[in-house]
Structure 1
Amino acid sequence: MSEYSNLLSDLSENITKEDLDQLKSACKEDIPEDQSNAITTSSEWFSYLEKNEKLAHDNLSYIEHIFEISRRPDLLTRVIEYRTTVLKISEDEEIDTKLTRIPSAKKYKDIIRQPSEDEIIKLAPPPKKAV
């Protein structure tokens, strides 16, 4: 199985029926309603996007955009990891290659990383109540 197929399989495993409805809603401008209603699995959704040239092994910007507006940073992070490890496109190059419409997507990579001790904001203790 190719790395791309593995990516789609991994994404599909993490998309529930409710998620799929939200994702289809996010791309309603690109999928006619009758065809959207016929899509019942995430695999069918990916196939539709591929047939309509919205998705390919080296063109992931559309699903990155959909995952971002659908507030699925976990899925977006997986796509970014695929792009940087399999396609060998670094964060600096990704803006130049135009493989992504959302240069802000790289901000999600930090979501899965724990902050360092220096990055954690320390709050002052609450004021003592006057007696």
Structure 2
Amino acid sequence: MPPFHLAFPVMNIEDTRRFYVDILGCKVGREAEKWIDFDFFGHQISAHVKPEQCEAVETNAVDGDNVPVRHFGAVLEWSDWEALRDKVAASGTAFLIEPRIRFEGQAGEQGIFFLHDPSGNAMEFKTFKNMDSLFDRG
């Protein structure tokens, strides 16, 4: 699968760098005074300093959670998801939506959690018991 590219606004570079490198384990790519690229689980994301674009987003109810409509994230292997969940928890970073298993025992059983980065960008990290069900329609 080809890597995707996503650009998004942030308040500042240093808080963004600390979060994406120290908490999520991303590597830094190219950077300049007003932007920084990260290797986000094999994908390229570009954080651009634009504080006036960092605003709260609306939510939708999904399986009992208020899910931010605008969010991005990664689908990880189960053990990698558990390791990231534990690393985030150990860092003291607050979960926007606590880690949990959705649709347990059903096709599409998945682990999920949501975070905000320091600029308020919402992210979802998920895993599937059976990765082949990622695009199943149920």
Common topology (TM > 0.5)? no
Structure with greater strand percent: 2
Q: Which has the larger radius of gyration?
A: 1
What TM-score comes out, normalization by structure 1 length?
0.28
What TM-score comes out, normalization by structure 2 length?
0.27
Structure with greater helix percent: 1
